[in-house]
Amino acid sequence: MKKNPKHTLKIDGMTCTNCSFSVERAIKKLGGQEINVNFSTGEASFTGDIDIKKVKSSISLSGFTIIKDENEKNISTVKYVFLVSCIFTIPLMLHMVVEKESILNNPILQLVLTLPVILSGGIYFLKSAYFGIKTRVLNMNVLVSMGFLSAFFYSLYGAFVIKVNIHDYLFFETTAAIITLVLLGNLLEENAIKKTTSALSDLEELRPRIARRVSNGKQIERVNVEELKVDDFIRINNGDKLPVDGIIASGKLELDEKLITGESIPVFKNTLTDVVSGTTVISGSALVRVTKGFGESTIDQIIDLVKNAQIQKPKIQKLGDKISAIFVPTVIGASFLAFFLNIFVFEYSLQTAIMNSIAVLVISCPCAMGLAAPTAIMVGIGKLAKNGVLIKGGATLEKLASADLIVFDKTGTLTTGEFILNKLNCYKESEEKIKQVILSLEQQSNHPIAESLVKALNKKVGPIYLQDVIEIRGKGIKGTDTEGNLYQLVSNQYSKTLTSRELTSDLVLFNGTSVVAELWIKDQAKIDAEETISWLKSNGYRTMLLSGDRRKNCDEIARELYLDDFYYEKSPEEKLKIIEKLNKNHNVIMVGDGINDAPSLALAHVGVSFGSATDIAINSSEVILVDKELDSLKTALLVGKQTYRTIQQNFFWAFFYNIIAIPIAALGFLKPMIAALAMALSDVVVIGNSLLLKIKRN
Amino acid at 679: M
Cα(672)–Cα(174) distance, integer angstroms: 11
User: How far lies 180's CA from each of 99, 115, 131, 319, 398, in Å?
Assistant: 24, 13, 21, 20, 24
Cα(275)–Cα(494) distance, integer angstroms: 19
Active site annotation includes 564: no
Question: How far from the centroid of its chain's Cα atoms is residue 537's Cα?
Answer: 24
Contact present, 276 and 242 (Cβ < 8 Å): yes
Q: Identify the helix (H) or strand (E) that includes residue 607.
A: strand 606-610
Cα(574)–Cα(593) distance, integer angstroms: 17
Strands 507-511 and 514-525: antiparallel
Cα(185)–Cα(687) distance, integer angstroms: 13
- Point out which residues pair with 607 in neighbouring strands: 590
Cα(140)–Cα(183) distance, integer angstroms: 12
Contact present, 265 and 521 (Cβ < 8 Å): yes
Contact present, 445 and 476 (Cβ < 8 Å): no
Q: Is 620 exposed, middle or buried (0-12, 13-18, 19+ CB in 10 A)?
A: buried
Q: Which of 409, 506, 597, 683 is catalytic?
A: 409
Indicate the DSSP class of residue 505: S
* Residue of 518, 500, 522, 496 whose CA lies nearest to 509: 518
List CB contacts of 68: < 8 A, sequence separation 6 or more: none
Contact present, 352 and 160 (Cβ < 8 Å): no
Cα(455)–Cα(476) distance, integer angstroms: 18
User: How far lies 575's CA from each of 307, 406, 407, 523, in Å?
Assistant: 15, 14, 11, 21
Cα(549)–Cα(526) distance, integer angstroms: 17
Sign of CA dihedral 37, 42, 47, 48: positive
- The alpha carbons of the chain give a radius of gyration, in whole angstroms, of 33
User: How far lies 390's CA from each of 30, 203, 217, 463, 528, in Å?
Assistant: 42, 21, 52, 46, 20
Contact present, 261 and 274 (Cβ < 8 Å): no
Question: How far from the centroid of its chain's Cα atoms is residue 374's Cα?
Answer: 19
Sign of CA dihedral 173, 174, 179, 185: positive
Strands 210-215 and 233-236: antiparallel
Amino acid at 479: G
List CB contacts of 483: < 8 A, sequence separation 6 or more: none
Q: Count Cα neighbours of 555 within 13 Å in the Cβ-side half-sphere.
A: 3
How many helices and strands (H and E) does the chain possess?
24, 24
- Point out which residues pair with 589 in neighbouring strands: 406, 606
Annotated active-site positions, please? 409
